[in-house]
A and B are shown apart, each in its own frame.
Chain A
Amino acid sequence: MLDFTEASLKKILTRYNVALEKAMTPEEAAEEIYPKDELIYPIAKAIFEGEEDDVIEGLQAAIDAGKDPIALIDDALMVGMGVVTRLYDEGIIFLPNVMMSADAMLDGIEFCKEHSETAPVTKGTVVCHVAEGDVHDIGKNIVTALLRANGYNVVDLGRDVPVDEVLKAVAANNPIMVTGTALMTTTMYAFKEVNDKLLEKGYKIPFACGGGAVNQDFVSQYALGIYGEEAADAPKIADAIVAGTTDIAALRNMFHKH
């Protein structure tokens, strides 16, 4: 069988992921940015490691020491999740780590809510759905996990969502943004209907769309459309909106890459 020499192989391909790999391990990188508070540190570390039981144990210890449960959401859980999302954005950890951390964080938030009379405040609400006629929802599930990981309240309408149901959810929840995902060319057409009905009802909110067959050209055809190439773009678009960029043209300028 034919084979390369080491020298000839290098002329054919480069594994850039190996060539550019960072020297620091994820654990070392996380250790550098964990909060130092002795009650908060174990919670943040447990979030990073995706260990639900350790998160609850850490929260209980902090509450027993007098910390306010609702304040712990921002001061411990979101701080731990911040470590995770920062390292993901920097390419040091991979998506499954974020998903497992997000699971642990959600368990922690529920625990904090159960131990308090007051409701937590989030960065804003985002309505997420998969286009009508489309049942492929793994992309939407990643988007919702990343939004929650970044401190947003998510109204998850699920998959194969009728257009009118999206409108009802917008009316009921006053979101800062709607997301739509689709795998197939024939179902993504529903996004135009969502867009038209949102405008008809006077909702001029950004409508971030992405997924399998969806592309920037298609999303640019309707007035509220913002194209997200990666699921990780969703929290970044939401952050931009919260920071004051609500104009669709400005958001497209920031996020349309092609």
Chain B
Amino acid sequence: MAAKRYTSMAYASADEMTFGVSKYPVKAGLDLEIGAGYTIPEINYAPRPEAGASKEKLVKEYERITTDIMERMVQVGFPAVILETEHVQQMSNNPSWGAEVAHAQKTIMEEYHDEYGIKCALRHTIGDIRENRDFLQLRGDKYSVFLEAFEECAKAGADLLAVESMGGKEVFDYAVLRNDIAGMLYSIGCLGSIDMELIWSDIAAIAKKTGTIASGDTDCAQANTAMFIGGGLLNKNLAHTLAVLARAISAPRSLVAYECGAVGPGKDCGYENVVVKAITGMPMTQEGKTSTCAHSDVMGNLIMQCCDCWSNESVEYHGEFGGTTVQCWSETLAYDCALMNTALETKNDKILRDLLMLSDRYRDPQSYVLAYDNAYKVGQAIVKDGDNIYLRAKNAAVECCNIVEEGAAGKLELSRFEAKALADAKAALEALPDDMDKFMDDCLTKYKSEVKVFLPENYGL
């Protein structure tokens, strides 16, 4: 299907948004309704390194993981859970492996659902395997294997289909290490969006055919790369003001999935999901303080503010004092959800939302922009030119600069370095043309010459 662009906001104001409630709840899996008035823990895990040696070992590993989680949820009395299996490459390169894992997991989940009535769903996140050793190969031979992995997993038991797609990453990796804001805009906002439209039209068709849910995509490959390179306050690898610009630009890119038929819940590591929720009204998974097992961030509480599902990003399966890692982390997630759900039931949700948001609001420019009121403004800038993938990404970046500047005039402290990086980026943005064709032509010439691994044919250019 052609992308149906968003040109207006789903919510009339930022204050309408809260956790556990979305405009368009999604029914999925075994009696689950997502974004329908309660939050749901979504546990994510990785097999131990040696488990990838064979299909049998891998399936067995996921059976252990699934049983451990379901058992712990029942033992502590939690009413609902989502399991997210992010494919290791063997499972997507060999769709039958992914399908066998999905089948094994779903069988166990059905047993628990039958016996205890626990509501649950299984998300499979297919690996973006569309590359060879030297280049991205987004439209080449691997594309059919990629789609086959979605279909086989859907048929075998996966309820929610997702991916963290890589379109634009080859240019982004070059640009982000050179403070190149135009390159970031081109890679995420344009190349990423072009690729998203291709794949999400096909994934949505597979979901429709198999009776499953096309859930969503995150800009992990780019905006999270910027966030990770940016690191903590003392790291010297990337100004956090540039990391948040990558994040703002990623929102219109991740939006494309929903414009092509995805319905949520958006995937956990999309910190841009709060903007996407404001625009689409669809439920979103987020991760923050409970994903410290996978990575650090500077907005662990804040990012919980409007989540519908609450995730840990990923944890390697092994033993801890309190059980296996998946048991410990799923229990932690579920307790957080119990608190949010208590706030919802007692009508204290907006108070808790604001406490979560405020505790990190001024911690960093990244958290400042993603505070729900500011995220809403980024969303408004996007839908203003919603029909033009370049202009809306540029608008998001400019609005992000304005928000940080306004914040810095108040209680948001910036280092001199962060302020200079922001000023340089804003000047670079102001120098860009308004005409998308000109921007695309200029960038094509520049990055074909400077980035050896950039193949325009990957994007039909």
Contacts and interface: CB of A to CB of B under 8 A. Distances in A.
A138 B173 contact: yes
B347 interface: no
A27 B415 CA distance: 16
A18 B415 contact: yes
Interface in A186-202: 186-189
A17 to B, nearest CB: 4
B238 A94 contact: yes
Interface string B234-257: 101111000000000000000000
A1 B373 contact: yes
What interface size band does chain A fall in? 35 or more
Contacts of B364: 15
A135 B133 contact: yes
A243 interface: no
Contact of A186 (B47, B225, B233, B373): B47
Interface string B175-187: 0111100000000
Contacts of B237: 94-95
Nearest to B177: A99
Interface string B35-58: 000000000001111111000000
A93 B46 contact: no
Contacts of A20: 234
Interface stretch (A3-11, A58-66, A234-242): A3-11
B413 A15 contact: yes
Contact of B52 (A1, A3, A25, A186): A186
B362 A213 contact: no
Interface stretch (B70-78, B154-162, B194-202, B351-359): B351-359
Contacts of A244: none
Interface residues of B, number: 45
Interface string A78-102: 0000000000100101111101100
Given A88-B236, A160-B133, A185 B415 contact: no
A214 B133 CA distance: 21
Given A16-B233, A186-B46, A100 B178 contact: yes
B148 interface: no
Contact of B316 (A21, A138, A185): A185
B411 A4 contact: yes
A172 interface: no
B187 to A, nearest CB: 13
Interface in B117-168: 131, 133-134
Contacts of A218: 49
A91 B236 contact: yes
Contacts of B133: 135, 158-160
A70 B226 CA distance: 37
Interface in B351-387: 354-355, 357-360, 362-364, 373
Given A13-B362, A95-B236, A142-B177, A188 B49 contact: yes
A2 interface: yes
B161 to A, nearest CB: 21
B342 interface: no
B421 to A, nearest CB: 8
B46 A185 contact: yes
A21 B49 contact: no
29 contacts: A2-B357, A4-B358, A9-B411, A13-B360, A13-B363, A15-B415, A17-B415, A17-B418, A21-B415, A91-B236, A94-B236, A96-B177, A96-B238, A99-B178, A100-B178, A133-B89, A135-B131, A141-B173, A141-B177, A142-B177, A158-B133, A158-B134, A185-B47, A186-B49, A186-B52, A186-B90, A189-B49, A189-B52, A213-B316
The 8 closest A-B pairs by CB, nearest first: A95-B237, A189-B49, A186-B52, A17-B233, A96-B179, A2-B354, A99-B177, A18-B413
Given A18-B413, A21-B416, A185-B46, 9 more contacts: A4-B411, A6-B411, A94-B238, A96-B176, A138-B177, A184-B88, A184-B89, A185-B316, A186-B52
Interface of B: 15, 46-52, 88-90, 131, 133-134, 173, 176-179, 225, 229, 233-234, 236-239, 316, 354-355, 357-360, 362-364, 373, 411, 413-418
Interface of A: 1-4, 6, 9, 12-13, 15-18, 20-21, 25, 88, 91, 93-97, 99-100, 103, 133, 135, 137-138, 141-142, 145, 158-160, 184-189, 213, 218
